[in-house]
Amino acid sequence: MAFVAPAKLHITVPLPAHVSRRRRTFNVSATLSSPPRGNTVAVDWVKETASFFDQDSRPIMLFDGVCNLCNGGVKFVRDNDRQRNIRFEALQSEAGMKLLQRSGRAPDDISSVVVVEKDGSYIKSEAVLKIMEYINLPFPQLAFFLQFVPLFVRDVVYENIADNRYNMFGRSDSCEI
């Protein structure tokens, strides 16, 4: 009996948002949601959250509202964002959960800072670099140079800090911002 090699099989697997080096862009005609289960209906989170960008097109920084490090980060961004280029929303808020779903993440995922723009979103170290681009000097220049550090290296550093943020910086009972 002769061995017959199987035909090549090409499979396209969509990558999760955190794998992509580039920002995740939204296709308004597509539905970004989990597949429907049972009698549930898929929600188009881009359309559902479009009102967040109707009157104000500035990006929204989603942060862990009970994390002391995250609250300090928001205060730092506010102090260094003289043109008020960025808006803020706690991940735990209703709007934050909707914007997480718009970004292709679970509504209860508080593992990362997320920057949501009208046409895309950024997570982990990419979100930090995007925030740095919006605030005052010298941070946009620093972000430019940090983008040359490989993404996996930046994200490993980010994840180590994020995973230990409560132990190192503590947490609040409620959002301080």
Segment 2-57, tens digit of pLDDT: 433 333 333 333 444 444 444 555 444 333 444 545 556 688 999 999 999 999 99
Cβ neighbourhood burial of 62 (10 Å; 0-12, 13-18, 19+):
buried
What CATH number should be reported for the domain whose range is 43-169?
3.40.30
In sequence order, the 6+-apart residues with CB closer than 8 A to the CB of 123 are 17, 18, 103, 105, 112, 113, 114, 115
Segment 71-117, tens digit of pLDDT: 999 999 999 999 999 999 999 999 999 999 999 999 999 999 999 99
In sequence order, the 6+-apart residues with CB closer than 8 A to the CB of 19 are none
Q: What is the pTM of this model?
A: 0.76
How far, in Å, CA of 91 to CA of 109, rounded? 8
> In terms of DSSP bridges, do strands 24-25 and 87-90 run parallel, antiparallel, or are they unpaired?
unpaired
